A and B are shown apart, each in its own frame.
Chain A
């Protein structure tokens, strides 16, 4: 038996990692869209917090933020349950991981979407308003496909970094792929083999993501270079 019976454990860990990455992606894209529109808005009350948000997150390491948020939430929650005199609630590391990673990568997605928004020419938005389209219609008919086209390289890049950052959540206790591999290695006294297996699974995830993302990029490229036709 190659995996010495630890196959299912590793598989569960891998699925946790994938679930964590996908959910964090959703949260961070949501935060990114909000942040991008906030940064572009005329109101300084929206712009300054958004700028503070992106500057802070890009200047402080992910792990420091993760530990800060995890321990602060836990202690804050403990205070809350103490004052309300109910049983202590233990924070689920999965939810904490999703919220923390989503919060951190929301800042990176804010920058990506902000760049994409800037690339859509103003005239198109004005034409949409002139036609009497509502904001939602403008977004659906004009903005969405163009934002996808400009933001896709950034989204692809952030996704790759996010998948690798999910490995950090094992430090706050989530039973993901890395932790499963560590446990298996420790129990079977073969840490190298299991950690190498974990690395291979991450590599597989990266490769599959590359294929999916390049398919998406081809789908949203509207200016395919035309082959040179010979003059007859």
Chain B
């Protein structure tokens, strides 16, 4: 185990001799797909929580399909399937985009996390106090201002615990990227296993790194909850 660490620690963390690899790629996949998913989920969740049945149902169709099918199937669809479509073949920019494994992986992960995040945020928007929204209306706030100052801050705070769960699950999901030839942490572990025939150290080290990142993320979210959900803590000094 020690010699594996000694020989391969760079590959696990950031560099495998010719390109970035390992933890840094995993973290990049995680952050990039979460960011894209988050940004897309904001308008989608507002639409999903809207009273208009047509709008809500359209977004529901998107989230139902992406939450009801495995991420692996979605990734394979995009990585092996899209490239063969005539529509993609005929546009040079699309063709070069879907040729890269990293792009396909990011595309699939971003859509998937967007679907889950949309549902989380839509649920949170529905729990915002009616009274606050009515007061915002009474003050004459426009729709945009209402959402910006009252509804979204309240909803996003309440969504924090569920979103932290989603972030951890997304970390687990990035392990699928190796099937699209992205050199992430799990791919490095598999390669080392193939070279050394020692699965326990090879995968065990990867497991330890994932565990550490999970604990770090949980700690970060606990800090965030401490700050942003402070108003939900039980009152301490009743004077």
Contact = CB atoms under 8 A, between A and B. Distances in A.
A60 B189 CA distance: 14
A164 B81 contact: no
A96 interface: no
Interface in B60-78: 64-65, 68-74, 76-77
Contacts of A58: 168, 214
Contacts of A171: 72, 179
Interface stretch (A31-39, A66-74, A84-92, A116-124): A66-74
Contact of B207 (A64, A164, A185, A196): A64
B171 interface: yes
A182 B203 contact: no
A203 B64 CA distance: 9
A67 B190 contact: yes
Contact of A199 (B73, B176, B200): B73
Contacts of A185: 80-81
A175 to B, nearest CB: 15
Contacts of B68: 202-203, 206-207
A199 B69 contact: yes
Interface string A164-183: 11111011000000100110
Given A71-B193, A199-B73, A59 B214 contact: yes
B175 A61 contact: yes
A217 interface: no
A63 B199 contact: no
Interface stretch (A2-10, A145-153, A186-194, A220-228): A186-194
Interface in B180-199: 186, 189-190, 193, 197, 199
B230 interface: no
A56 interface: yes
B81 A63 contact: no
Interface centre among A64, A164, A171 (most CB of B within 10 A): A64
B205 to A, nearest CB: 10
B175 A64 contact: yes
Contact of A61 (B70, B76, B171): B171
Contacts of B189: 64, 67
Interface string A42-71: 000000000000001011111111011001
Contacts of B84: 189-192
List the 8 shortest-distance A-B pairs measured between CB atoms, nearest first. A192-B81, A71-B199, A167-B70, A68-B203, A61-B172, A206-B68, A164-B70, A59-B214
Interface of B: 64-65, 68-74, 76-77, 80-82, 84-85, 168, 171-176, 179, 186, 189-190, 193, 197, 199-200, 203-204, 206-207, 210-211, 214-215
Interface of A: 56, 58-65, 67-68, 71-72, 75, 164-168, 170-171, 178, 181-182, 185, 189-192, 195-196, 198-199, 202-203, 206-207
